[in-house]
Structure 1
């Protein structure tokens, strides 16, 4: 996964963690890591359930509960329908009510049916089972089966369990505390830090967005994006080359809610970890352009998370003529699904072995050997995990946690296309074009046989080419390739 680093001098961090244990050179001491196990809150009710939730929050330092998690990039999310997400192991529905994005537990208070299987009707979220409808505040506004004289009182007892949501820079965040039974109010100061308006608002800066569901837990993802040394080997043939491999010394410094790191390489840069789920990184080229990668991880069900990547370039300072390429690539003229297809290839470089790594590290405490300062950020993150706990969820989720096949690990339809409006539209277009293209081939061949005119043969050839292109696009939007370029 592509990350580059970030200048760490201009950001403040909110109090969450203690100082890191350090060895010589101010680098975290290498230790044998604890297995990256997942703790799920038991599905208990009443006093016993409350005690279980309190124990989990205490063990995790409340850091996973009192956090903002991205749900979607709003520019590529369909406002015309509700959407489902297993946020921290709990089923959540989010939708746009005509004024703002809303989120709630994905369960109708009537019979527990998923509201995300319903529809939006006159700004209300309508249950697919009996048509109960809810407004943006979670209030029930319609119970079709209620007697008229009892309708008002019946609706008062049928409210949704809402989650605070905020949209920043085109990214929709949800405050997870209610899922854990935590009454802590939303921390808007923390949210502003995560939005990085000071970067995205810089003159000449442009960015592209990408999200995907990954078959790994949050700690595996965070380690991966904190590790720039893997790029030349893992991503050989996509965004890097093995010949570029070298030492990547990183000097880490603890901050209030994570740590920062400075990279003593050429070009230079740095990175920062915002607990529990965000990493940013910068590459700084003297007297030239900068580029950032902003990466967020949202825990889903067991052994899965959704990654949100925002690739940011200081396009105005890119040398000509390369600047013209970047201006087009980062413009609205290029449909988002084109860049998403490129991003898929990069993510799939890691997907297979990271999934298996996560399974191995959960099943047994494997010893690791990390003698290089290139691993400093990974070691700092593991120290953070020891103090704060691994990926604690509020529920167990709905996705089975078994070992996946390679084909499942490079699947694109469910992991991305279905929740990306741009890619969904492209898929519908690709599928819809195939039947007319086939008809054009048949009619062209028939006309050529009966008439012999070259125009019919040309029409058949054009239809055949269109059929191939549409089928190829459909395949690229639904499934990736294996093996990756580095092994080809």
Structure 2
């Protein structure tokens, strides 16, 4: 074969090679497009489902989430259609450093196409707690209660006809005035819109239109317009002392709500009175996912909450490992872990927003009491003297495993709006419920307990508020999944990686938001007075703290008046014992007034400065 023949063969080989490569590329691209049909990476690193906008029939009342712009939705046929993802709006996830982080990143990237075929978590077909029943029952029954959920404004009110709690979207169908500004008409048993006087039954039907001609057929009952005159009703139920709302009001969504139970801690009945403790609620100035990530992170407690619920000296390696969940379970559960090698607690996340710590003190409490120095060993004696060993299994080996000494921390994170969330916490235990010395009426009040909870949340609220804005800015500057730049080389970050992996895959990058809500609009960094605010975030809605605030104000005013009265008496009284007593009375009242002013301020705002805490 000559030189020209060889060149001809080489050209043919090159042509056939290019043909084969083109065919392989086309096949690969087809597979890639099939795997990415459900999900695509958003410009800011979030994951968005590619769905068409569901049709809406004229005159049909549906959830605000159904009429939203195209975005993340729930499972096929689910009630989350047309919702927007918040993957880039806030927060960290994944792993950023170390060989473990690199391996997990490669593993996640290798599974992206496969996980895209899995049905997404249905954020709008879940039950969310919105308010503590103790506080709701304490309100004036005529006053509706406004709440936020997934970016949508809702109104909660009590129906006098059946004593049931109802939840509507906070829009009157007439001219969209907020129904939360209205009142509950106790005579008609309807929710009254303050703008034009329209009234709505508990099932959402319009019961009265004052502007309608009484001689003509009631407009509200006209079958052609009846749906347009109805308020949008969301399913509700009361479970474990909280009112829960189901965001999907479509017929399919309402039916689905009947077969789904609110997510609670397994095998823990908080309604039977054997666990003590009370619910605490507060609105926070950072996002839902930032809160969950913070709650599942036990390693930050000794540092962010030094002097409150931890000590910096307690910081130590934490070998956190995950348990294998049973089929069908969501989230994650850790194996027993703890500080300094004391494996007492397990951490669990259950979507959409439950985080709980189970701490087993069955063996550690008596061991700790018996090991105290001699002067303090009276604690051990007291435990024996008052038969507390029956509750803490001091020297028993035949204790029923189901009767362990357990202490829980329970936290619910509720997505209210981008960059905002509401937290519900409770710390029940089944031991030391009856104090051997101090009567219940002398112990710390519920308002006092809440002030203690404020200190815990204030310890890292400012840092978390700023942190998620750093991440958002990085995403807006073109960094894809900015949380992956984090450096998390230790096992203490296992729970953060586990949450982010679930959140970005099964969770679709975050919960959907109502129509018109921009998940990337977190606003500027707020001043500390707003981040650490207690009045708007808690006191105004809390029955116990609101009462304590008002009582403190009344006592302060009385003390000021008493101080002036005693001072005036001391000024006009002749010198002697009487004048000294009156002056002492004035001084005591002034001291009481100062103490009450300080107490009042604790329900409004208290700054939290870490470098001041030794």
Q: Which TM-score applies when normalising by structure 2?
A: 0.66
2:237 corresponds to 1:220: no
Match runs of 1:159-170 below 5 Å: 159-170=230-241
The alpha carbon displacement at 1:460 in A equals 2.1
Partner of 1:56: 73
The alpha carbon displacement at 1:435 in A equals 3.0
The structure with the largest strand share of the pair is 1
Partner of 1:175: 246
Structure 2: 5+ residue stretches without partners: 1-42, 58-65, 76-82, 86-119, 364-391, 393-404, 475-481
Selected match of 1:74 from 115, 128, 133:
133
Partner of 2:194: 128
The alpha carbon displacement at 1:345 in A equals 0.4
Selected match of 1:198 from 268, 286, 297:
268
Change over 3 Å in CA distance of 1:228–1:195 after alignment to 2 = closer
Partner of 1:336: 446
Partner of 1:434: 556
Partner of 1:379: 497
Contact 1:281 1:293 in 2 (8 A): yes
Contact 2:414 2:421 in 1 (8 A): yes
- DSSP-derived class of the 2:123 partner: coil
CA distance in 2, matches of 1:162, 1:284: 42
Partner of 1:460: 586
- Size of the aligned set, in residue pairs, is 447
The alpha carbon displacement at 1:291 in A equals 0.5
Partner of 1:263: 336
**For each residue in 1:348-369, what CA deviation from the matched residue of structure 2 results, as whole angstroms up to 9, or x when unmatched?**
0010101111111222115112
Partner of 1:305: 421
**For each residue in 1:119-155, what CA deviation from the matched residue of structure 2 results, as whole angstroms up to 9, or x when unmatched?**
2220432222222222322222333333223473326
- DSSP-derived class of the 1:177 partner: coil
CA distance in 1, matches of 2:494, 2:530: 32
Partner of 1:29: none
The alpha carbon displacement at 1:442 in A equals 1.6
Contact 2:265 2:356 in 1 (8 A): no
Change over 3 Å in CA distance of 1:237–1:198 after alignment to 2 = closer
Contact 2:207 2:220 in 1 (8 A): no
Computing the radius of gyration from Cα coordinates, the structure with the larger value is 2
Selected match of 2:469 from 359, 364, 382:
359
The alpha carbon displacement at 1:228 in A equals 0.8
Selected match of 1:232 from 302, 323, 329:
302
Moved more, 228-237 or 278-287: 278-287
Selected match of 2:206 from 140, 163, 174:
140
Contact 1:297 1:307 in 2 (8 A): yes
CA distance in 2, matches of 1:146, 1:197: 54
Structure 1: 5+ residue stretches without partners: 1-33
The alpha carbon displacement at 1:242 in A equals 1.0
Partner of 1:15: none
The alpha carbon displacement at 1:375 in A equals 1.2
Considering only aligned residues, what root-mean-square deviation do their CA atoms show, in Å?
Answer: 3.3
CA distance in 1, matches of 2:68, 2:572: 82
**For each residue in 1:207-246, what CA deviation from the matched residue of structure 2 results, as whole angstroms up to 9, or x when unmatched?**
2211111111111111111111111111111111111112
- DSSP-derived class of the 2:596 partner: helix
CA distance in 1, matches of 2:591, 2:50: 54
The alpha carbon displacement at 1:336 in A equals 2.0
Contact 1:216 1:358 in 2 (8 A): yes
Change over 3 Å in CA distance of 1:235–1:35 after alignment to 2 = farther
CA distance in 2, matches of 1:130, 1:195: 45
Partner of 2:597: 471
2:361 corresponds to 1:285: yes
Q: Which TM-score applies when normalising by structure 1?
A: 0.82
Change over 3 Å in CA distance of 1:285–1:215 after alignment to 2 = same
Change over 3 Å in CA distance of 1:425–1:279 after alignment to 2 = same
Contact 2:73 2:122 in 1 (8 A): no
**For each residue in 1:257-278, what CA deviation from the matched residue of structure 2 results, as whole angstroms up to 9, or x when unmatched?**
2121112342422122111211
Contact 1:86 1:301 in 2 (8 A): yes
2:513 corresponds to 1:394: yes
